[in-house]
Amino acid sequence: MRISGTGIANKSKEGELLDVYFSSIKFNDREISQNIVHNQNTSHEIIEISWSQEDLDRCIENISDAYFKLQLLSHKFVLPNTLNLDGLFDCIPNVAWTNYGPISLNEIDEKLEESKKSDNNLYIKSLDKFPCLTDYIVPKKVRIADTRRVRLGAYLSEGTTVMHEGFVNFNAGTLGTAMIEGRISAGVVIGNNSDLGGGSSTMGTLSGGNNDVISVGENCLIGANAGIGISLGDNCIVEAGLYITSGTKIHLMEGDIIKDVVKAKDISGSSNMLFLRDSTSGKVISKNNKKESILNTQLHKND
């Protein structure tokens, strides 16, 4: 496996690398390439990378490693959860992301004062380790209503629409056409023709004690303000407002009869399931799903 990249890094006045934009990447037979102008600007540094499969599998050791792996994901050279991202948070600095690019937190007060004096209108978008995806990559045939809500390292397939309240973290995303009006947490992947309703969420692995990587299969619907801490197979529906954690007791129904009671984690990844809460008893029940989730094709052409 042959992997290489050429990028340009922004540096602080103290020489700290703030980010790296890789405009040229070769990954086996695939390639993206844009010319980088080599200049004498002391705030920039040219970064060259030459990797093999071993480098994809090793821990992240520096900021160049981190940004290269994040951009491999967002360019869709690799799928989420196939790279070793251990060490990521230790290697990328917390910076001020502005309309003039990344600025060191040690220098942002000075830049703000200069802006007020000269009417440069410096705008601080966020104080974070991660920039937004579109500061580096504009994915093709994808709609993003609010670009601030999609982080670099997100994997967005053609036909994906991320609405204003949708959010996509790094090392997560969509594997086909999808409507995202909810939250895709780190490590979570959403299958083709699936829909995350407004305010819905998927439980990630970065915090909260959840160690299982969550996935959603094809033709699924997670209703508004619902959420999952288990995986869904294909053709599943979670009713609006219902949050299923791994320990939720699920009453498996056959007709009007409860056939079994299991923890949700025991049926994680199962297909053709309709999850809802009985409005009388309050029990969470699951029935065989006979409905088909169909996205509006006109909304997802995204040409």
Whole-angstrom CA distances from 213 to 187, 256, 268 are 6, 33, 11
Alpha helices (H) along the chain = 53-57, 63-74, 88-91, 108-118
Q: Whose CA is closest to 21, among 32, 6, 31?
A: 6
If you write DSSP's letter for every residue of 270-289 in order, what string do you get? -SSEEEEE-TTT--EEEEE-
Whole-angstrom CA distances from 226 to 68, 207, 221, 229, 287 are 34, 19, 10, 11, 17
Tokens of 138: 């504009």
Q: Whose CA is closest to 32, among 83, 63, 65, 77?
A: 77
The one catalytic residue in 181, 239, 254, 292 is: 181
Q: In residues, how long is the chain?
A: 303
Residue 83 identity: L
14 carries an active-site annotation: no
> How many beta carbons lie within 10 A of that of residue 98, not counting itself?
17
* Catalytic annotation, residues: 181
